[in-house]
Amino acid sequence: MRYPDNMEKKTIRIEKQEFLINETLTASVNAAFARAGVYVGEVRDSKKEVLRRDLKQALLALVEDYRIGIPDGEVHLENIQRIADRLKEDHKPILRGGRFRLGIAQKAVNLFLKYMWCMSEIEQPPHCPFDRIVLSAIAKFAPKPPLVPWTKMDDPNEYRRYVSAARAAAAGAPLPEWELRFWSDSQPGHQDS
């Protein structure tokens, strides 16, 4: 069946958008799980896939809420905590320590929101992804004790310390913009334009 040209264009436009969103979902989950020690011992791939699917569904639901309006930082943190808690409840037997740590949840959430923002799917999110590279850049702005690595972080107050140190490092710039420039500048071969 041949569709009218305008319908074909709309369909391919939607398919392209869905493809990019699915790719960014996968990239966000993969980045959050890399080197994070999510699972306890040997876990069947089928169980890992269910956890990844549930996280992707939570991210998609969250981005729909953020299309309506971007919350303030505290509500954003509550959303991240809610995702971590739900995944812990649903997947406790396969999670190391029986927990889906807040640091892993924030990495998936904040990275996915960064992608959606860069693709103009949502307005600027309240925070940026916190990973080893960002934490090393903001560490000197954090009061003692040292910041907990993101893969081990499981305390909302520690997350608030990340945000506070990042705001100091950003010197007034919005965190997503600061982190995007910082990330771009850190890439091999990057040249100032």
- Tell me the per-residue pLDDT of 43-92, one tens digit each, with 9 for 90 and over: 999 999 999 999 999 999 999 999 999 999 999 999 999 999 999 999 99
- Cα–Cα dist 153/44, whole Å: 25
Cis ω for the linkage preceding 129 (within 30 of 0) = no
- Among residues 119, 86, 95, the alpha carbon closest in space to that of 37 is found at 95
How do residues 105-132 score in pLDDT, each as one tens digit?
Answer: 999 999 999 999 999 999 999 999 999 9
What dihedral do alpha carbons 178, 184, 186, 188 form, nearest 10°?
180
